């Protein structure tokens, strides 16, 4: 069974940084695209970033380009999302998700991801 566990959320002031971690014990990241999504109050879940080792691709939403960086640690079977220059509008619950065979094509939205973590809260104060 694919299980994903996020960690690293918290409260930070605007301009600060956080690093989110997504752990996937029990499955091989190489077979999946790993995406980060977020859902703010009253908003739909939206894609933030994605990494696919098998396709050698990454993707970022326009709203986070230049501020967020996605990376993977193969030895630890983890994917990270480094978030810098955080803004109050980045406040949301952040989820990592896995799409088997995914390529991080922007067209691969929420429905393409079959496996989800429980989410971690990120709050950015102004």
* Greater model confidence, 118 or 24: 118
76 pLDDT above the threshold of 90: no
Q: Are 29 and 53 in contact (CB under 8 A)?
A: yes
* pLDDT score of 31: 87
Q: What is the largest CA-CA distance in the chain?
A: 40
Cα dihedral across residues 77, 19, 101, 46: positive or negative: positive
At residue 108, the 3 state secondary structure works out as: coil
Q: Over range 93-116, report the average pLDDT.
A: 91
Q: What is the mean pLDDT of the chain?
A: 93
């Amino acid at each position: 069974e694919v299980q994903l566990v996020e960690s690293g959320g918290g409260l930070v002031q605007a301009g600060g940084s956080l690093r989110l971690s997504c752990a996937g014990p029990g499955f091989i990241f190489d077979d999946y695209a790993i995406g980060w999504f977020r859902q703010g109050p009253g908003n739909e879940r939206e894609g933030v970033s994605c990494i696919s080792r098998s396709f050698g691709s990454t993707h970022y939403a326009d709203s986070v380009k230049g501020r967020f960086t996605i990376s993977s640690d193969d030895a630890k079977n983890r994917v990270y999302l480094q978030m810098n220059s955080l803004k109050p509008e980045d406040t949301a619950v952040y989820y990592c998700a896995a799409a088997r065979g995914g390529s991080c094509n922007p067209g691969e939205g929420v429905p393409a991801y079959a496996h989800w973590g429980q989410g971690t809260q990120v709050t950015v104060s102004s």
